[in-house]
Amino acid sequence: MNPLDFVSGPPNLYIFQKKSNKTNFGGVLSIIYGIIMIIITIYYIFDFKNTYLKDSYTVQSFTRWTKKTIEHANEEEKNNYSQNINFKIEFKDPAFMSLDRIGIYKKYTTDKFPNPFVHSTDNFPTLYLGYKCQDQDCGDYYQNLDRYETNFTFSLLYDGFTLDHQNNDKPIQKGGTFSMEYKINLNQVTTIDNVWKQIIYKEKKGYFHKDYADSAFYIDEFKKREEKFFTTLTDDEYKNILIFCYLSIELNNNNIVEYTRTKKSILTLFANVCSLFSNIYFIMCFIAKYYSKNFDNYKII
Average pLDDT across the chain, whole number:
79
Closest by alpha carbon to 211, among 134, 269, 253, 263?
Answer: 263
- The more confident residue out of 107 and 12 is 107
272: three-class secondary structure by DSSP: helix
pTM of the model: 0.68
pLDDT tens for 117-151 read 999 888 888 999 999 998 888 888 888 777 777 88
What angle (nearest 5°) sits at the alpha carbon of residue 60, between those of residues 57 and 66?
Answer: 145
Q: How many CA atoms lie within 13 A of 259 on its CB side?
A: 20
- The more confident residue out of 187 and 295 is 187
> Which helix (DSSP H) or strand (DSSP E) does residue 25 occupy?
helix 11-54
For residue 301, what pLDDT is reported? 42
For residue 78, what pLDDT is reported? 60
E-state strands within the chain: 57-65, 84-91, 102-106, 117-120, 127-132, 151-163, 172-185, 189-203, 212-227, 231-234, 240-263
Sort residue 164 into left (φ over 0), alpha (ψ -120 to 50) or beta. beta
